[in-house]
């Protein structure tokens, strides 16, 4: 989703802004732009497409030399991706420039009022309204830009992270936020604003997070933050706790394969510190034994892969603890008017911690009186800060749009939770808890083993990359894992794929199976081996080619399958952590075979901060 970067200091802002924009590329975008104070005034260059296009355009126009500027990557919401709709947008006669992430809901209303005051709009965006509004409120008044921005945001409905500059002070950037992330990087004689830390880390590791309703005045040697009343707020600086190398490819061709290969470490970071003497130990997560003992109904909320991890978690939680558990699509939870009781526990899953629907669903659950515990990767993200308790994944920065290591770490976190809950509720014995903990502790090593299937998956990719449709089948836990495997394939390779509960296919969808259709079946739950193999036979006898991921000890007749991969020995409840690995690799290599933009698939954004 849109990315914002801003720099003010002594060095030339252009390479710093461009570097910042490149590091925000992973969020997903379709155009980019920069506004900076040059000797000619407020210079704006914008371009549809990749940042490289913007760079070429800047150089073709003679370059930019400036010590202060703002930049933006746009993921279109209002109006097609085009130079005209790209940010920054200018207000009035070009004295003010604005970059924005989010959606201004009342922009049409404001636009028509501003038009009555003679403002002429150049774009279809909601953001241009903010630029003209700031200009309208600022012109002729001798007040600080920040005070004008404070007034302007009081008139906006919706969500925003904003970076605003004005010709009045060519070394100042004003930033504001509501429901969209914005960090301020604190340097030595220079400061930055950005949508996330990846855009500032090459200049500074020190940052503060702007909270909802706050406005910041960012100058080369000072940062002042005000609340919505205009009062100064003291903010506690934080330090980035990971290295720049974690956000670089480190010799891999794509971030996606790098992050797939990083899974043993990521999962170990989530699991290992929380297992002690054969028990799951929660310390700062806010998940006390008392809370777990009294949880009446557990609601798991997430979007996309986070939801898929939640579906696996739901199945294990009910199986081990017999506590009622529901997995919710966050965007549906918001409008379903779900029944939430005060003793309910909401587990909110989000890698970024900024997903708009997940955040809104969490706030709703909280308001209804539920206790909210977030499983989050990005430290100090909005969801992490607003949840009652947080279980951090500590998986390190994830840059590829398609999640891999964060998904695996989310599974790890949910396994920990399921075992802990069952132990507190007395539905598993201490000996069983130890068995699960030992098995969980070994998962990172077993993922390492699964990564050895890389060559085989690469070979299968060459064989199947040309298929136009792929079906993923599984029952119970394997169905949830199939959902994730299918999403991985479709999002990075653009091959149509669907996940089906294996027993459901024959109720209509089997009509799509024809000669050469690829079916990937998962059968890792021993009590369901026979059932699933019957479903595999149904598709194979209609011409499908079948890849089977089978649990250890699977002894069914696999003669109808074209390729069979057996998982190593693992309690069946934990199999999803292993079965997904070869399927991530398969999706990756199929995407590579098809020459897709693996790390930045079309139309997708890493952090979905609009509804
Ligand atoms: C798919 C993917 C998405 C995210 C979803 C939620 O590979 O990455 O489906 O899982 O957008 O994002 P977070 O976890 O940041 O809330």
DSSP codes, 407-433: HHHHHHHHHHHHHHHHHHHTSS-HHHH
Q: Which of 179, 303, 386, 404 to mutate to test the pocket of ligand 1 (most atoms within 8 A of CB)?
A: 303
- Quote the ligand 1 centre to 397 CA distance (angstroms): 14
Q: Point out the ligand 1 atom lying closest to the alpha carbon of residue 608.
A: 11
Checking if the pLDDT of 605 tops 90, the result is: no
Average pLDDT over residues 467-486: 97
- Kindly state the helix (H) or strand (E) to which residue 110 belongs, with its residue range: helix 107-116
Tell me the CA distances in angstroms from 65 to 10, 33, 35, 68, 415, one per residue in order. Answer: 11, 15, 11, 9, 53
Banded model confidence at residue 152, pLDDT cuts 50, 70, 90: very high
Q: Point out the ligand 1 atom lying closest to the alpha carbon of residue 378.
A: 15
| Res 33: pLDDT | 97
Q: Hey, what are 28's tokens?
A: 């997903």
| Alpha carbons 444 and 124: distance in angstroms, whole number | 49
pTM assigned to the model: 0.86
Ligand 1 atom 5, closest CA = 304
| Res 310: pLDDT | 98
CB 275 within 8 A of CB 268: no
Q: Point out the ligand 1 atom lying closest to the alpha carbon of residue 401.
A: 8
Banded model confidence at residue 245, pLDDT cuts 50, 70, 90: confident
Catalytic residue among 95, 235, 600, 606: 606
| Res 292: pLDDT | 96
Select the more confidently predicted residue: 553 or 577.
Answer: 577
First to last CA, the chain: 11
Question: What sections of 465-497 are H helices per DSSP?
Answer: 477-493
> Mind listing the pLDDT tens digit for each residue in 92-111?
889 999 999 999 999 999 99
Catalytic residue among 2, 67, 303, 561: 2
Return all residues near 76 (Cβ < 8 A) that are at least 6 apart.
30, 31, 85
- Quote the ligand 1 centre to 401 CA distance (angstroms): 8
Select the more confidently predicted residue: 241 or 13.
Answer: 13
Q: Point out the ligand 1 atom lying closest to the alpha carbon of residue 607.
A: 15
Any residues with Cβ below 6 Å from ligand 1, and which? Answer: 303-306, 350-352, 355, 358, 402-403, 487, 491, 607-608
Total residue count of the chain as it appears in this document: 611
Note if 2 is an active site residue. yes
- Quote the ligand 1 centre to 307 CA distance (angstroms): 8
Ligand 1 atom 1, closest CA = 402
Bridge-based pairing state of the strands 371-376 and 389-392: parallel
Which residue, among 606, 305, 316, 331, has the nearest Cα to 484 in the 3D structure?
305
- Quote the ligand 1 centre to 407 CA distance (angstroms): 9
- Quote the ligand 1 centre to 337 CA distance (angstroms): 23
Average pLDDT over residues 6-29: 94
CB 300 within 8 A of CB 310: yes
| Alpha carbons 350 and 385: distance in angstroms, whole number | 13
Question: What sections of 452-528 are H helices per DSSP?
Answer: 454-464, 477-493
Q: Point out the ligand 1 atom lying closest to the alpha carbon of residue 404.
A: 7
Banded model confidence at residue 241, pLDDT cuts 50, 70, 90: confident
Average pLDDT over residues 319-341: 95
Q: Which of 254, 304, 383 to mutate to test the pocket of ligand 1 (most atoms within 8 A of CB)?
A: 304
According to DSSP, residue 205 is labeled S
Note if 596 is an active site residue. no
* C-alpha angle 432-436-440 in degrees, rounded to nearest 5: 170
Checking if the pLDDT of 244 tops 80, the result is: no
- Quote the ligand 1 centre to 549 CA distance (angstroms): 24
Residue 5, Cα to own-chain centre: how many angstroms? 19
CB 28 within 8 A of CB 75: yes
Which residue, among 474, 482, 544, 487, has the nearest Cα to 510 in the 3D structure?
544
Spatial strand order of the sheet with 232-233 comes to 89-91, 96-104, 158-166, 169-178, 215-219, 222-226, 232-233
């Amino acid at each position: 989703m849109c990315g914002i970067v801003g720099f003010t200091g002594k060095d030339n802002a252009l390479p710093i802004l461009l570097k910042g924009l490149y590091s925000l590329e992973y969020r997903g975008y379709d155009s980019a732009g920069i506004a900076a104070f040059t000797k000619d005034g407020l210079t704006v260059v914008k371009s549809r497409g990749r940042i490289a296009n913007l760079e070429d355009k800047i150089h073709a126009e003679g370059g930019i030399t400036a010590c202060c500027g703002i930049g933006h990557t746009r993921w279109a919401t209002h109006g097609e991706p085009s130079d005209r709709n790209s940010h920054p947008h200018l207000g009035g006669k070009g004295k003010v420039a604005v970059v924005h992430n989010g959606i201004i809901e009342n922009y049409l209303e404001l636009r028509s009022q501003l038009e009555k005051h003679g403002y002429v709009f150049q774009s279809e965006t909601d953001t241009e309204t903010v630029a003209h509004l700031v200009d309208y409120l600022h012109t002729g008044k001798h007040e600080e830009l920040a005070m004008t921005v404070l007034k302007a945001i009081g008139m906006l409905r919706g969500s925003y992270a904003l970076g605003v500059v004005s010709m009045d002070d060519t070394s100042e950037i004003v930033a504001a936020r509501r429901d969209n992330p914005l960090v301020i990087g604190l340097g030595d004689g220079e400061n930055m604003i950005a949508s996330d830390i990846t855009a500032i880390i090459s200049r500074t590791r020190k940052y503060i997070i702007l909270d909802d309703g706050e406005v910041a005045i960012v100058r080369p040697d000072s940062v002042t933050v005000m609340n919505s009343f205009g009062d100064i707020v003291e903010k506690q600086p934080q330090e980035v706790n990971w290295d720049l190398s974690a956000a670089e490819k480190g010799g891999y061709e794509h971030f996606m394969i790098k992050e797939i290969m990083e899974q043993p470490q990521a999962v170990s970071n989530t699991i290992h510190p929380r297992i002690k003497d054969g028990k799951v130990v929660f310390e700062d997560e806010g998940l006390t034994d008392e809370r777990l003992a009294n949880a009446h109904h557990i609601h798991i909320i997430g979007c996309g892969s986070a939801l898929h991890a939640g579906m696996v978690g739901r199945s294990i939680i009910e199986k081990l603890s017999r506590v009622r558990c529901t997995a919710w699509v966050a965007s549906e939870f918001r409008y379903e008017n779900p029944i939430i009781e005060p003793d309910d526990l909401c587990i909110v899953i989000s890698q970024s911690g900024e997903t708009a629907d997940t955040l809104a669903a969490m706030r709703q659950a909280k308001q209804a009186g539920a206790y909210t515990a977030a499983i989050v990767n990005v430290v100090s993200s909005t969801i992490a800060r607003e949840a009652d308790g947080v279980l951090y994944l500590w998986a390190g920065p994830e840059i590829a749009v398609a999640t891999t290591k964060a998904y695996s770490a989310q599974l790890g976190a949910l396994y920990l939770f399921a075992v802990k809950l069952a132990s507190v509720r007395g539905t598993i014995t201490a000996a069983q808890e130890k068995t699960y903990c030992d098995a969980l502790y070994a998962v990172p090593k077993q993922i390492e083993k699964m990564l050895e299937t890389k060559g085989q998956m690469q070979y299968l990719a060459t064989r199947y990359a040309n298929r136009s449709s792929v079906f993923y089948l599984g029952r119970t836990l394997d169905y949830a894992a199939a959902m994730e495997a299918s999403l991985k394939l479709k999002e990075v390779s653009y091959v149509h794929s669907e996940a089906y509960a294996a027993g459901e296919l024959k109720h209509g969808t089997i009509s799509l199976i024809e000669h050469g259709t690829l079916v990937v079946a998962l059968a890792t739950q021993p009590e369901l081996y026979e059932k699933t193999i019957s479903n595999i036979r149904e598709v194979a006898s209609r011409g499908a080619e079948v890849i089977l991921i089978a649990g250890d000890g699977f002894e069914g007749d696999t003669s109808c399958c074209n390729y069979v991969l057996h998982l190593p020995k693992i309690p069946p409840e934990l199999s999803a952590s292993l079965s997904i690995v070869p399927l991530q690799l398969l999706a990756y290599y199929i995407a590579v075979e098809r020459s897709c933009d693996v790390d930045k698939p079309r139309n997708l954004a890493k952090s979905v901060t609009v509804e």
